[in-house]
Amino acid sequence: MLCSGSTLLPHVNANGFWLVGRLLGMNLMQTLRTWTVIKTLVGVCGFALSASIYLLAA
């Protein structure tokens, strides 16, 4: 959870990007849109969870 910010705004050089695109049969633009939204949501949710735990513990 501490590194949730590193998942924001991924790039096409990531292995997972190409894996998801090929397995789901998407073209480059579809994969970019889908992967960016998913990874951004993961980053934001991870940050929110980390911030919540920090505020509860402090």
Residue identified by tokens 């513990």 is 57
Domain chopping of the chain, boundaries:
4-57
Query: What pLDDT score does 2 carry?
Result: 63
Q: At what angle do helices 15-23 and 28-57 cross, to 10 degrees?
A: 120
pLDDT tens for the chain, 58 residues: list them.
Answer: 567 767 776 777 888 889 989 999 999 999 989 988 888 888 889 889 988 999 999 8
| pTM attached to this predicted model | 0.73
State the Rg of the chain over Cα: 14
